[in-house]
Amino acid sequence: MKYLIIGGVAGGATTAARLRRIDENSEIILFEKGDYISYANCGLPYYIGNVIKERGNLFLQTPISFGNRFNVEVRIKSEVIHIDSVQKKVKVCHLDTGKEYEEYYDKLVLSPGAEPIKPPIAGIDSPQIFTLRSVNDTDRIKKLVQSQFNTSKEAIIVGAGFIGLEMAENLHQLGFHITIIEKAPQVMTPLDLPMAVIVHDHLKNKNINLILNNGVSSFSHQHEQVTAHLENGESILGDLVILSIGVKPDIQLAKTSGLKIGNAGGIWVNEHLQTSEPDIYAVGDAIEFPHPVSGKSFCCYLAGPANKQARICADNLVNENQKSYQGSIATAIAKVFDLTVGATGLSEMNLKGCHIPYLTSITHPTSHAGYYPGAKPMSIKLNFAPANGKLLGAQVVGSEGADKRLDLLASVISNGGTIYDLIDLEHAYAPPYSSAKDPVSLAGYVAENILTQKVFPMQWDELESILSDKQKRNDYFMIDTRTVMEYKNGTISGSSNYPVDEIREWIEEIPSEKKIILFCAVGLRGYIASRILLQSGFKTVYNLSGGFKTYSLLGKYVIK
């Protein structure tokens, strides 16, 4: 059996290695148009920032070591320019010599990956403007940042996704002043807005210049510097620009070779990772598949799913499609200075786009028991189905322990679980590591209270709609349930202060004919007060989701 694999890194190289482990006698040829077949793509920003000191640490295998270990013929600088699925052959161009030749196959695997989005903006081809997708990109950026600058070092990041924020941190550590330009109203679009504003505030505290709701209309280049001209007429001067606008599937070869392209713009594959041609398979960033929660096709640009696909693909090549790929819920995490930021499953924007009904909850627990020194704040947001509590998506922003909470939430979503499963999870508990009520269980308890109508949450945008409409506002009475001192230090305009521990004494003063909105710092005291009022005859009582902490952050960056 002769296998050809087009493209290396997570998808192609892992497929080749797995193939050899289960089939010692086949012929395997791997084509890669670049110089490298197996490197730590996700580590590139940290090498630029000198967190990873040695360039060689980025390389998991060289073409020679990989070929020797797995008896795979590795052909670098070799671009496959056409696939003939009828004759079962490919045309290859050796990029150094320009020589073209053909190679036949029994089965073929496509792993072309994704390519950075570079919109047709004037001046975007300036030598001071970079994308970060490959080792060669990294080397060029590294060479520039090691140069001696005559002026203060200014870096512009266009796009505030995961890679953009990782690059912002690493360049900041090298002494650059950072400006981030993002066309959307928030950073990191997998996050819902109440979680994204936590990141906004952290970036501001790190003296990052964050420009939202604005895009770049053009670039101009002069004297080794670049000026980004913004859509609102402003201009930003920088010594280098990193484009982190996003990526798209590299489907050119598949498309010109007649393979089916799906609705999401990726290479269509079935559950066995076969393309529309049965002897051609595809893995990695270039493919699309149904999201396990929404059922809608999408592309997932993550190394973990690519490695899983590669293993399944290799097994199916040898064992005639005995394994099915279940899809990915796109669990992603990033370090943003001192924060850990992660998301899994579907965001509110995704849910709205798919017309899936949902409820949400926001909790602000600490990383471990509050009485044990060093407890750090954490925020967890759940999106779940109103009918049965099925967990649809989750996001975590914090520091210590945020990653393990995200993994727990992702496991429940992957298994089709509910918010009740969060309550039933058994956690390892000791004061340095968690609380008796782990943050994940606590999030489950809050969601259960919402689902069983023990509390009626009010979201920040609902409150803002009420406060901005005088006629609506007259129907509500808003109560700050925090202490008098907290109330004096800042509250929501128009609220009255009835501390939760005293609220029973003041019930007669609360207008029962009005709808009551309660809030506290993070939601707990508001919940307790709402239970008191609901059981005391009040008909309509709401508790502000996420409390004053969430609302005040939104007030700084969103609410006008």
Q: Computed over its alpha carbons, how large is the radius of gyration of the chain? A: 27
Torsion of CA 322, 328, 333, 334, to 10 degrees: 90
Q: Are 66 and 72 in contact (CB under 8 A)?
A: yes
Q: How many CA atoms lie within 13 A of 457 on its CB side?
A: 23
Q: What's the rounded Cα separation, in Å, for the pair 54 and 418?
A: 44
**Dihedral sign of CA atoms 541, 547, 553, 556 in order:** positive
Q: Are 366 and 357 in contact (CB under 8 A)?
A: no
Q: Are 185 and 355 in contact (CB under 8 A)?
A: no
End-to-end CA distance of the chain: 65
The DSSP H or E segment spanning 439 is helix 439-451
Q: Is 299 a catalytic residue?
A: no
Distance of CA 159 to the CA centre of its chain: 13
Q: Are 541 and 465 in contact (CB under 8 A)?
A: no
From the list 330, 333, 339, the residue with the least C-alpha distance to 367 is 339
Given the DSSP bridges, would you call strands 476-480 and 496-497 parallel, antiparallel or unpaired? parallel
Adjacent-strand bridge partners of 216: 230
Q: Are 222 and 126 in contact (CB under 8 A)?
A: no
Adjacent-strand bridge partners of 131: 243
Q: Among the options 42, 299, 300, 520, which is catalytic?
A: 42
From the list 514, 515, 517, the residue with the least C-alpha distance to 498 is 517
Q: DSSP per residue over 114-141, as a string?
A: EEE-----BTTT-TTEEE-SSHHHHHHH
Q: DSSP per residue over 496-548, as a string?
A: EE--GGGGGGGGGGS-TTSEEEEE-SSSHHHHHHHHHHHTTT-S-EEEETTHH
Q: What's the rounded Cα separation, in Å, for the pair 553 and 194?
A: 8
Torsion of CA 446, 449, 451, 457, to 10 degrees: -70
From the list 212, 312, 219, 208, the residue with the least C-alpha distance to 270 is 312
Q: What's the rounded Cα separation, in Å, for the pair 479 and 539?
A: 15
> DSSP label at 437?
S
Adjacent-strand bridge partners of 359: 384
Residues labelled catalytic: 42
